[in-house]
Structure 1
Amino acid sequence: MTNREVLRIAMEQSAIDINCKADDFLRTEHVIVESKIGPDARKYYHEPVALDLVSYGNNIVASVKDEYREIAEEYIHKYEFYHCFETPNMYWLNERLAPFGQKVCFMAEYYLPDLNRMKPLPCSYPLRILTQKDFTDLYRPEWSNALVEGRKEFDVLGVGAYDGEKLIGLAGCSADCDMMWQIGIDVLPEYRNKGIASALTSRLALEVLERGKVPFYCTAWSNIPSVRNGIKSGFLPAWAQMTVKPVDFIEEMNR
């Protein structure tokens, strides 16, 4: 697999997720399509979604419900495309969606492996490859980034770091779609800043690649430790995404 192939796989999956064509992400002009979540979309994609904005760094592809199309079209043509994913421009969008009971909900940056940089990183603690059967007793708060209790059936592979028999760090990946597995990472607080996170992340990413899948990594822009870990582990930013959902959904998440 090459970096070009990895990027193409990611674009093809994003196209499935938001009902567009993979080549739409390569165009210089913005693209607007009808919002629809296909049966092969990532497992965590759920309706209702009023608007999804996705950019691989060339333009914006907006997947939008018909009733918000005019707002979305004006928004993505009003501002520089990369400013559409941040404040203060985002407030413009929120104000116009508010009468419809919609607001910006999710904002994230996604990373893909740079195959020219990715390599196993050293760890001062032994690492073990884990499979689904090993996760049974690990659905606890300290491993909530590596494993997702509500979607246990998709947690397919992991790497653990051990101090004796004590699990001190865990990278897990979820088979979120056919060709792409998402990596999450947790390290116990007293063991952080020792290179454990990057050792686990890089090792798991390589294990995923060996299985013919593309590992990907997601973080909030403001989660600096997570961003640093992704870059150190051999990942680079690939695309940004912003999702608009009903206000009731957002308020429920904030409780």
Structure 2
Amino acid sequence: MGYRQMKHELYVIGMGPGREEKMTLEALQALEACDTIVGYTVYVDLLKMRFPDKEYMTTPMRQETRRCRMAFEEAQKGKRVAMVCSGDAGVYGMSGLMLELGREYPDCQVTVISGVTAALAGAALLGAPLMHDFAVISLSDLLTPWEKIEKRLRAAAAADFVICLYNPSSKKRSDYLKRACQIIFEEAGQELVCGVVKSAGREGECAEVMYLSELEEYPADMFTTVFIGNSETRIIDGRMVTPRGYQNI
């Protein structure tokens, strides 16, 4: 795909988990072509060394709508604009809001560029936990009530999905991961192999394999991605593996 200047064009770019080598070539090419990069402060700071000559615009958390409008307004000035997100822009990212607000800016064209989401980056570090059907659930109740999160956890566990948890804990939600583990145990009825990945693709990256009972007390934070296996998930040579069943064919 080429990135020639088009009138009022914006790119919503998933920049992957952090390091440049984890970013797709398409994302890098789009960022190279842009004049202005807009995003959450923490994510934008990761790009400044790689793209020092770009114009940067940021907002803190909980100002997502303002951030998106800033991007549209800059694009209307004739600039090439990139709205950046960690991971994939369409997985708990900004592409949905950008497309929703885009109806108010009919002279702007939004192009979404995918990236490597935390579930995929973390799975590679743990081994192969997502080889079979899986569900991704965020434990953040900022936009989703806990009652609905609990319903989704119970349904996924009862259906024997591998479960990947985003936003497992924060200062205000310090017991949410423990509550999730207890719900999953109630539905699965057995001890399950689990894995955690902290800061995938960034400084301080680490991955651990454990069991559900150990996961309950794990000191997770917002940079942790949690993997809870299904009834078939095993530990093989220290790695978390969910067999696909190829050997049974």
TM normalised by structure 2 equals 0.29
* Higher RCO by CA contacts (8 Å cutoff, separation 6 or greater): 1
Name the TM-score, length of structure 1 as normaliser: 0.29
> Which has the larger helix fraction?
1
